[in-house]
């Protein structure tokens, strides 16, 4: 029986093209035994038409309205109307829209919010799917899913060619944002999205569509439905949404008449209104060489065409390239993205030189350079071109739900009798030997010997590293690990042999300063509700690398104040965080009781996960400036496949627990995001001109 059997997934459908992305996934999940429930929400565009036309059974969020939801909506509107009124009175742009329209739009959003909330409380799904976050429904779903601790999966909608800042909001709530390839991933990262939530898994449907609509029998049916004879060549114009003027196409029409075997088919963007289409075609009425189509499947048209022409920005250009069709591009004013500049399309100015471009392609085909560019372009845009994206998505869903259903870690047993304050646990991978020696020397010379023992777990493969470990003496125990162990597994094994009251987790390449261990022990002994304590970690230039983890707007953990000077006032006092990264100190009893580092997390998030479990147990995660060390090199880095599994496990397990909190720390330090950005810019400026020591304090800034 599938691990997904008996689980419930709710899938939000709005516009017709959503079906192409989402329905195949839902069908694949249903085959694995999941209970699939389609639903839609209230909107001006009557989203339910989409589901009715596709003959999909569905629920409407308004079906879940109750007297309580009506009361909540009424109360919210009483609170919101005065706010809206004040904003309208102070903003001329808002005044251009009547108050009744504003009121209607906001009321619809409020109704959707409370009805969606009620729907999740009634349905109790295990998973939510939507096309993307970038609309009111997507954001409401994302927020409520986190309140109810339900993983939320979203998808790439098409080719991303708008202003890059527009895409910032793709991973605020998405547990997994599934994209087609590396190109989209990089756009989202540049926009400020979270890399930990982005999964390049390929396109859900395009390869099956290519196979279906390039089939000769299907091509024949498409041509017959359009009334186009087999000997005619179809030039398909893929029109973006724009306010077109009347087309002046006489040179192009004359060329088509002279050739006698060309039919131009215009496929309009679904958002283009009839009045725009009628105006554009005013000079082409009743011309037998020009067909304007609506309601015909775009893929069917691409499959039947000889050459495709994109007019303005459209994902259909990318799809035409997938189908192997030669591409011509007509760029519209202020068009931000260009297939021509990518080297995969010929550029035409319009109808005046269109015939020349098409004639060249029909007679000579694509140039070798354009064909090679096309292959590279498709590889950039599709992480996989094997038609197995559906299987990868199903696997990702299974991993997510497994994380949600996983219980607490099994408690660890530590048989060692307490005979020393601290057991320093140091798993060793194939880090540079000099980095390992620096760590070992610092432990030996900068730590009181009566305070610790050292447990080294040898997971290295290199003989040079093994030789260093074999030469060690003193109170050091070498435990034989395995090269395929991850950091957490090696630590868990070492703890079974530990004799310390406290455990200290280090990595090779971390070089402690004098008094580092005493600083941690002092906090551990004085703070009754202490769970974990860590200190300053500096980079080789002496700047802050880590003092604690905050969570940003993407609910992503990040090291706050990284690359500021260690004298920054926010790093000079003891404070509490949700989580720390290794290195840190924890009591052996607590570590074992919580089951140690989670074995599902392999060299990514295992330390964050442990800290969150400590917080869940009601104990504090503390930072103290009294302990410091330098991070000379990185060690214990995840493999790509390990990293993918760790990310989906972590974000699924902790859905609803990772709310943004970085502004809290900024406020405590007298800062805002803008003020912090100014500090970084001024610091960078001082470094660039070779200024001396830089001391940052709040609220004044740089001094």
State the pLDDT confidence band at 16, using cuts at 50, 70 and 90: confident
Model pLDDT, residue 462: 82
pLDDT digit string (tens) for 146-185?
999 999 999 998 999 888 888 999 999 999 999 999 999 9
Q: Is the pLDDT of residue 694 over 90?
A: no
What does pLDDT average to over the chain?
A: 93
590 vs 561: CA distance, rounded Å? 29
Q: Is the pLDDT of residue 98 over 50?
A: yes
What the chain holds in terms of domains, given with CATH numbers, is: 8-203 (3.40.50.2000), 207-367 (3.40.50.2000), 420-669 (3.90.550.10), 670-703 (no CATH)
> How much is the pTM?
0.92
512 vs 534: CA distance, rounded Å? 12
Mean pLDDT of 85-100: 87
Q: By CB neighbour count within 10 A (0-12 exposed, 13-18 middle, 19+ buried), where does 240 fall? A: buried
pLDDT digit string (tens) for 358-392?
999 999 999 999 999 999 999 999 999 999 999 99
Please report, rounded to a whole number, the percentage of residues in the chain having pLDDT higher than 70.
97
Q: Picking from 79-83, 520-524, 548-552, which range would have the lowest pLDDT averaged per residue? A: 79-83
Q: Is the pLDDT of residue 701 over 50?
A: no
Q: What is the CA radius of gyration of the chain?
A: 30
Q: Is the pLDDT of residue 688 over 80?
A: no
Please report, rounded to a whole number, the percentage of residues in the chain having pLDDT higher than 90.
81
Model pLDDT, residue 693: 53
Q: Is the pLDDT of residue 698 over 80?
A: no
Model pLDDT, residue 1: 67
- CA torsion, points 552, 557, 559, 561, in degrees to nearest 10? 10
Q: Is the pLDDT of residue 186 over 60?
A: yes
Mean pLDDT of 581-585: 98
Q: Which pairs from 336-340 meet CB under 8 Å and 24+ separation? A: 336/161, 336/162, 336/163, 337/159, 337/161, 337/313, 339/310
Q: Is the pLDDT of residue 245 over 50?
A: yes
Q: Is the pLDDT of residue 625 over 90?
A: yes
For residues 451 and 103, which has the higher predicted lDDT (pLDDT)? 451
Q: Are 21 and 157 in contact (CB under 8 A)?
A: yes
Neighbours of 94 (CB within 10 A): 13
Model pLDDT, residue 690: 63
Residue 622, SS3 per DSSP: strand
Mean pLDDT of 608-629: 98
pLDDT digit string (tens) for 273-313?
899 999 999 999 889 999 999 889 999 999 999 999 999 99
């Amino acid at each position: 029986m599938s691990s997904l059997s008996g689980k419930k997934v709710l899938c939000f459908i709005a516009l017709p093209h959503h079906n192409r992305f989402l329905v195949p996934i839902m069908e694949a999940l249903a085959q694995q035994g999941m209970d699939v429930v389609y639903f839609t929400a209230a909107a001006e565009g009557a989203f339910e038409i989409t589901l009715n036309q596709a003959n999909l059974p569905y629920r409407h969020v308004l079906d879940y309205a109750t007297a309580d939801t009506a009361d909540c909506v009424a109360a919210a509107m009483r609170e919101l109307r005065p706010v809206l009124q004040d904003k309208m009175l102070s903003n001329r742009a808002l005044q251009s829209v009547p108050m009744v329209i504003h009121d209607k739009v906001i009321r619809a959003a409020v109704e959707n919010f409370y009805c969606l909330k009620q729907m999740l409380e009634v349905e109790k799904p295990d998973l939510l799917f939507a096309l993307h976050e970038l609309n009111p429904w997507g954001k409401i779903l994302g927020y409520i899913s986190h309140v109810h601790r339900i993983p939320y999966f979203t998808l790439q909608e098409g080719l991303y060619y708008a202003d890059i800042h527009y895409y910032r909001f793709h991973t605020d709530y998405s547990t997994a944002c599934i994209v087609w390839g590396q190109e989209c991933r990089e756009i989202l990262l540049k926009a400020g999205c979270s890399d930990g939530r982005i999964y390049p898994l390929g396109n859900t449907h395009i390869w099956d569509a290519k196979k279906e609509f390039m089939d000769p029998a299907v091509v024949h049916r498409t041509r017959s439905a359009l009334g186009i004879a087999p000997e005619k060549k179809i030039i398909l114009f893929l029109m973006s949404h724009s306010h077109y003027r009347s087309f002046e196409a006489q040179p192009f029409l004359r060329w088509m008449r002279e050739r006698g075997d060309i039919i131009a088919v215009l496929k309009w963007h679904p958002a283009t209104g009839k009045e725009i289409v009628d105006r554009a075609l005013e000079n082409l009425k009743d011309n037998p060489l020009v067909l304007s189509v609506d309601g015909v499947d775009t893929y069917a048209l691409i499959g039947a065409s000889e050459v495709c022409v994109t007019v303005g920005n459209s994902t259909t250009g990318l799809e035409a390239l997938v189908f192997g069709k030669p591409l011509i591009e007509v760029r519209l004013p202020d068009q931000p993205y260009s297939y021509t500049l990518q080297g995969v399309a010929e550029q035409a100015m319009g109808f005046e030189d269109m015939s020349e471009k098409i004639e060249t392609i029909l007679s000579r085909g694509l140039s070798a350079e354009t064909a090679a560019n096309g292959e590279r372009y498709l590889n950039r845009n599709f992480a996989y071109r094997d038609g197995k994206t559906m299987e990868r998505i199903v696997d990702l869903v299974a991993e997510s739900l497994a994380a949600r259903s996983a219980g607490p870690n099994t408690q660890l047993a530590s048989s060692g009798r307490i005979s020393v304050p601290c057991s320093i646990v140091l798993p060793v991978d194939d880090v540079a030997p000099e980095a390992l020696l620096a760590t070992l020397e610092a432990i030996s010379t900068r730590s009181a010997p009566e305070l610790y023992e050292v447990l080294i777990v040898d997971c290295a493969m290199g003989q040079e590293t093994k030789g260093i470990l074999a030469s060690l003496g003193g109170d050091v125990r070498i435990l034989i690990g395995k090269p395929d162990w991850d950091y957490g597994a090696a630590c868990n094994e070492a703890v079974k042999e530990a004799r310390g009251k406290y455990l200290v987790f280090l990595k090779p390449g971390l070089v402690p300063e004098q008094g580092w261990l005493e600083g941690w022990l002092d906090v551990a002994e004085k703070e009754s509700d202490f769970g974990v304590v860590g200190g300053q970690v500096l980079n080789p230039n002496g700047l802050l690398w880590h003092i604690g983890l905050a969570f940003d707007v993407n609910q992503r953990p990040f090291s706050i104040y990284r690359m500021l000077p260690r004298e920054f006032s926010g790093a000079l006092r003891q404070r509490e965080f949700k989580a720390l990264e290794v290195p840190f100190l924890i009591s052996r009893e607590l570590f074992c009781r919580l089951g140690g580092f989670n074995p599902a997390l392999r060299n990514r998030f295992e330390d964050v996960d442990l800290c969150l479990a400590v917080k869940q147990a009601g104990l504090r995660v503390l930072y103290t400036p009294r302990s410091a060390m330098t991070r000379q090199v990185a060690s214990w880095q995840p493999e790509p496949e390990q990293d993918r599994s760790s990310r989906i496990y972590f974000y699924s397990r902790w859905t609803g627990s990772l709310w943004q909190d970085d502004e809290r720390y900024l406020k405590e330090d007298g800062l805002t995001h803008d003020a912090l950005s100014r500090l970084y810019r001024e610091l960078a400026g001082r470094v660039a001109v070779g200024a001396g020591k830089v001391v940052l304090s709040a609220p004044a800034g740089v001094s």
